[in-house]
């Protein structure tokens, strides 16, 4: 089989897709794992839309050690 440019493009596209698929699955794992470890709480960001007065307190991300929202949300 001759390896002309068309073929190379095809293989490049295939492996790039494969790479991106792996990245995407890794991202799912990353999202759930960092929540489980208590590093982050993604769900609290949903409140940004609900509590959105210009005077509201921002829902910002603090380091895990300083966080109180876990208790609050329960």
Which residues of this protein are in contact with another protein, per CB under 8 A?
A: 6, 9-10, 13, 17, 20, 24, 27-28, 31-32, 35, 42-50, 52-61
Specify the residue, 47 or 65, whose C-beta has the smaller distance to another protein: 47
CA 18 vs CA 10, 23, 67: distances in Å: 12, 9, 38
64 in Cβ contact with 38 (< 8 Å): yes
Q: Whose Cβ is closer to another protein: residue 3's or residue 49's?
A: 49
Please say whether the beta carbons of 32 and 41 come within 8 A: no
Provide the minimum distance between the beta carbon of 28 and another protein in the complex, in angstroms, as a whole number: 6
Spatial separation of the C-alpha atoms in residues 24 and 61, rounded to whole Å: 23
Shortest distance (Å) from residue 71 CB to another protein: 18
């Amino acid at each position: 089989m001759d390896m002309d440019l068309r073929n190379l493009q095809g293989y490049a596209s295939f492996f790039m897709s494969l790479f991106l698929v792996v990245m995407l699955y890794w991202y799912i794992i990353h999202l759930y794992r960092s929540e489980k470890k208590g590093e982050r709480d993604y769900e609290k960001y949903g409140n940004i839309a609900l509590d959105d007065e210009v005077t509201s307190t921002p829902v910002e991300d603090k380091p895990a050690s300083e966080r109180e929202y876990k208790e609050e949300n329960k």
